[in-house]
Amino acid sequence: MGKILIAFIIFGVLIVGGFMVLIAFVIKKLSEPKTTKFIENEKDTMYASVLKKRKDLMSDKTKMYAQITDAMVFNYKKAVTYYKLSGTILNENRKPVVVFERIERGVSTTGHMHAMTKKKEFYFSFTGLEAMFYCEGKLLGRFDKSGTIYNPDGKEIGHAKHPIKASFHIDFFKRTNHRLGEGVFPLTLHGRKLATINVAPNYDDISYGHSVSSVFDHLGFGTPIIMLSENETPTKEEEDWLLAFAIFETAFHGHWLIP
């Protein structure tokens, strides 16, 4: 009986030890910085994947930023060392206007994303709540965790502070999802309030199937992200910023891959 007990204890220790080793391995892989070559190869693979789906998009409109809503359909993949979200953003008429693919890893939410409309290409590189926006292969600018926006030369040109990143749900007859913080936030550029940004809903908290009909009919999504301020006419550069922020709001803030 004593030998059996000892064997059982040893077996338990081995199981626990093995589990701890596995956890340590996963944490190490998640936290391990990737080489520049690895990131560039991953970036090229994402680009090729998004480019294939671009043909199914609707043609760009003159004010393309106004076409982006909080409605999207997507596929989510959780691997050992990374998280991936591939999806399509829809306009108010339920037509596809943006395709994107996003990969992130690590406890600090480090990742990148390619997104395309029929005519425009965007690339986003982010760590936590700081991000760099690229348009047509050129740096559009960046913003830091305080929400301050900078142009490619590092000059401060505006502000857009996203509300607190937290959510919860309540189960009472049916699930109700809640996001803490304001439902909108202002975007200022070049000394004026250019627009208001609607905060995207939490798709990661929603149990519905993510078909086009469920997103619009059951969930009631399809609200435009950008509300242009009255009497404001954005410049070409500002239109790129508006479109970039609209895509980033739905494709990034709409689904937090790493809580």
SS (H, E, C) 41-84: HHHHHHHHHHHHHHHHCCCCCCCHHHHCECCEEEEEEECCCCEE
For 209, the token pair is 């199937």
Mean pLDDT of the chain: 85
The pLDDT value given to residue 26: 44
Ramachandran area for residue 253 (φ above 0: left; ψ -120 to 50: alpha; else beta)? alpha
Q: Measure the N-to-C terminal CA separation of the chain; round to a whole number of Å.
A: 47
Task: Give residue-wise pLDDT tens across range 198-209.
Answer: 999 988 767 655
Sign of CA dihedral 24, 26, 30, 34: positive
Per-residue buried b or exposed e for 220-255, using 16+ beta carbons within 10 Å of the residue's own CB = ebbebbbebeeeeebeeebbbbbbbbbbbbbbbbbb
The answer to whether residue 21 scores a pLDDT higher than 60 is no
Give the integer Cα–Cα distance in Å for 181 and 168. 12
Q: What is the pLDDT of residues 44-88, one digit of tens each?
A: 999 999 999 999 999 998 899 999 999 999 998 888 788 999 999
Between residues 3 and 233, the one the model is more confident about: 233
pLDDT at 248 > cutoff 70: yes
Structure token digits, residue 116? 């395309």
Contact 46, 134 (CB under 8 A): no
Distance CA 71, CA 255 (A): 12
pLDDT at 80: 78
Q: How far is CA 193 from CA 44, 143, 227, in A?
A: 36, 16, 11
What are 46's two structure tokens?
């994402």
pLDDT band at residue 9 using 50, 70 and 90 as cut-offs: low
Lowest mean pLDDT segment, chosen from 11-25, 135-149, 241-255? 11-25
